Amino acid sequence: MPAINGFAPRDWNSHPPYLSSDYKSTPLRAPTKPLVILPQGLTELTGPVYGQDAVGHLDHDLTQNAAKSGKPNGERIIVAGTVTDENGRPIPNILLEVWQPNAAGRYNHTDDQHDAPLDPNFLGAGRCVTDQSGYYRFITIKPGAYPWGNHFNAWRPNHIHFSLFGPSILTRLVTQMYFPGDPLLELDPIFNGVPEAARHLLVAKLSIEISEPEWALGYEFNICLRGRTATPMEA
């Protein structure tokens, strides 16, 4: 498939299918007809564009941006990495939005009725912008696993949701980051819906370089937009 207005085509072999029998909600939202490719204009090819002024000074620190009466419960971690294009070039000014459950495995959302405590000092949402080297970094609490009702005794692995707005709507990405060594990964139909050869792209690496002594472990999660090594989509 040829490039689209200078952007490498998506490698659909590395992305999960729209319809997966093991992922029970996909029949309700998977397309039932062939996709229609729409022509791109200047708006789609050049935006949206964000800069450092798009975020507040604590947006990147989920342990502080919603604190009311103290520190949130759980293990503090650092997540960092580089966002690149299909040629490995770093991309600056990428807006990353993240959201996740708290350490007990509960989202701060009215629809989440999981029998686990809410943390009054943890919202579970934040954002940051990549610098001129394509680098991003945020601080958070390691999320807990939670039941999700897809099948009998189904539990989601520890994960963090990512939403990226790149230099063009053609580079839009919504995905999930998982943690190394999580035994729930092999049981999770969302993670296993991604083709096996691409699953490692969704698993962060423990990084001593990112870790800060006596303070927090660090995880490296690099993200590629489009191309053969693109980070898979995950909703």
Helix (H) or strand (E) holding 146: strand 146-147
State yes or no: pLDDT of 73 exceeds 70.
yes
Give the confidence band of 70 by pLDDT, cuts at 50, 70, 90. Answer: very high
Is the pLDDT confidence value at 44 over 80? no
Whether 10 is catalytic: no
CATH fold group of domain 12-24+46-224 = Protocatechuate 3,4-Dioxygenase, subunit A (2.60.130)
Grade residue 221 by pLDDT with cuts at 50, 70 and 90. very high
> Which pLDDT score is estimated for 3?
55
Catalytic residue among 15, 76, 106, 161: 161
Residue of 32 and 41 predicted with greater confidence:
32
- The mean per-residue pLDDT over the stretch 184-211 comes to 96
161 as an active site residue: the answer is yes
Q: List phi, psi (to 5°) of 181.
A: 80, 10
**Inter-residue contact 226 to 8 (CB < 8 Å):** yes
Give the pLDDT confidence of 139-157 residue by residue, as tens digits. Answer: 999 999 999 999 999 999 9
Give yes or no: 50 in active site: no
Which of the following is catalytic: 10, 15, 156, 226? Answer: 156
The torsion angles phi and psi of 202, rounded to 5 degrees, stand at: -100, 0
Sheet containing 125-129: order of strands: 125-129, 95-99, 159-165, 173-178
pLDDT number for residue 170: 81
CB 172 within 8 Å of CB 117: no
Least confident stretch, 10-24, 111-125, 195-209: 10-24
Q: Where are the domains of the chain?
A: 12-24+46-224
CA 162-55-207 angle, 5° bins: 50
Question: What does DSSP assign to residue 41?
Answer: -
Least confident of 2-16, 21-35, 82-96: 2-16
Cβ distance 98 to 126 under 8 Å? yes
pLDDT, mean of residues 126-149:
96
| Dist. CA 125–CA 140, nearest whole Å | 9
Query: pTM of the predicted model, to two decimals?
Result: 0.92
Average pLDDT, the chain: 91
Whether 107 is catalytic is yes
Distance of CA 153 to the CA centre of its chain: 24
Region of 134 (left: φ > 0; alpha: ψ -120 to 50; beta: rest) is left
In tens, the pLDDT along 160-184 reads: 999 998 888 888 999 999 999 999 9
Phi, psi dihedrals of residue 6, rounded to the nearest 5°: 90, -10
